[in-house]
Amino acid sequence: MKIISATVIVTSPSRNFVTLKITTDDGVTGLGDATLNGRELAVAAYLSEHVAPLLTGRDPHRIEDTWQFLYRGGYWRRGPVTMAAIAAVDMALWDIKGKVANLPVYQLLGGASRNGLQTYGHASGRDLPELFDSIRQHRELGFTAVRIQTAIPGVRAVYGVAAQPQASGERYDYEPAGRGAYPVEEDWDTRAYLRHLPTVFEAVRNEFGPELPLLHDGHHRMTPIQAAKLGKSLEPYDLFWLEDCTPAENQDSLRLVRQHTTTPLAIGEVFNTVWDFQTLIREQLIDYVRAASTHFGGISPLKKVMDFAAQHQIKSGFHGPTDVSPVGLAAQLHVGLAIHNFGIQEYMEHSAKTNTVFAQSLTFVDGLLHPGEQPGLGVEIDEVAAATFPYQPAYLPYNRLNDGTMHDW
């Protein structure tokens, strides 16, 4: 069996997605996700100019060898563009292997370790009544855990707050395509945030009781001592996790946070390789690995980092926003189902328009996500539908402090 072509499909149904399609001489096809939010065309070019020509003629079954060929063979290692491109190849080859074996990918990874994956949804509100409504809506949809993000008095626009319900009736997506070709500016005040957030969690606990798992995303905005202070002040509200409390690339800073708080920590959505997790896992400075199959080099390295994490009782909490495409999501659902140290899966749900391009076999029943039983990853792309949604420039917002200084978004 040989690879005869690798093509890149860029489509923007509600938001931009980059998908790699690998075809073999037997007519089997595999899909991989290469979407890098706001930098999509860089990965598309990396794949079509530098990777696709090298794949022709290779044996699609040699997944590990192809991964190492692209990683070591390219000489320039790591980085989000490179690793998203390698991820797409890795996923597409697992998809092909599953289709040839007539088995869903999770079976090739060792088989199911559980019935399905517990997920958390994104509850948010500008004030407490709006937040409580959002939590109730998520529970009605079957979510058994929720992430809590709220507005902060004195701050105009805050990450993760779905202030405007979508006119289309679709579930909210706060980073949609069509935002325009220039990023929107937001503002930030860490002291106001540190004062306000514990009052929100206190109110949520009073309203919903002690059982509901609650999560929060700090989106890399705090210094280590600020993060330590927040973790400590949230301890009475028993968080499932506090995510990205500090800029994640500074691994050493997590030692300080850890010394001060027992609030569980989740980190790593912007990480690209197992090396980024080396100190965090070895010194047990985190509790959950936030990597995404798409930005971490695919299924193969995700399985490896979780095996490393298992030795330190660290679990998975894979990154599942809508900018991880249905293909990328499926890839990590297969890993999550198979590994022993699964923790929780983020699930934002793709829009109805996205589902006209990608047919997904996943199911979400009684709060549990399952990748389905189709051979391979269980996702197919309608290329005709994809072509009707051309790329639209769209960028994440950026942040400035009150005095105009650039801050982490």
Q: How far is CA 135 from CA 17, 283, 304, 331, in A?
A: 29, 35, 35, 28
Check: CB of residue 239 under 8 Å from CB of residue 210.
no
Does 346 engage in binding with Mg ion (CB under 5 A)? no
The nearest distance, CB 345 to ligand GCO, in angstroms, is 11
Does 323 engage in binding with ligand GCO (CB under 6 A)? yes
Does 317 engage in binding with ligand GCO (CB under 6 A)? no
Q: Which is nearer to Mg ion, 95 or 217 (CB)?
A: 217
Binds ligand GCO by CB under 6 A, chosen from 60, 116, 218, 321: 321
Binds ligand GCO by CB under 6 A, chosen from 40, 346, 349, 380: 346
Q: What is the bridge-based pairing of β-strands 288-289 and 315-316?
A: parallel
Catalytic residue among 219, 220, 350, 370: 219
Tokens encoding 106 = 């999770």
Residue 182 falls in the annotated catalytic set: no
Beta bridge partners of 119: 345
What number of helices (H) and strands (E) belong to the chain? 14, 18
**What is the DSSP code string of 287-337?**
SEE---GGGTTSHHHHHHHHHHHHTTT-EE-----TTS-HHHHHHHHHHHH
Residue 106 falls in the annotated catalytic set: no
Q: Look at residues 319, 276, 278, 7 and name the one whose alpha carbon lies nearest to residue 147.
A: 319
Rg over CA atoms, the chain = 21
Binds Mg ion by CB under 5 A, chosen from 95, 173, 217, 287: 217
Q: Pick the stretch among 94-102, 182-190, 317-325, 352-360 that binds ligand GCO (CB under 6 A).
A: 317-325
Does 269 engage in binding with ligand GCO (CB under 6 A)? yes
Residues 203-242 that bind ligand GCO (CB under 6 A): 217, 219
Q: Which is nearer to Mg ion, 99 or 220 (CB)?
A: 220
Tell me the C-alpha distance between 70 and 33, whole Å: 16
Q: Which does 380 bind (CB under 5 to 8 A by kind): ligand GCO, Mg ion, none?
A: none
Does 173 engage in binding with ligand GCO (CB under 6 A)? no
- Known catalytic residues are 159, 219
Positions touching ligand GCO (CB under 6 A) are 37, 217, 219, 269, 319, 321, 323, 346, 396
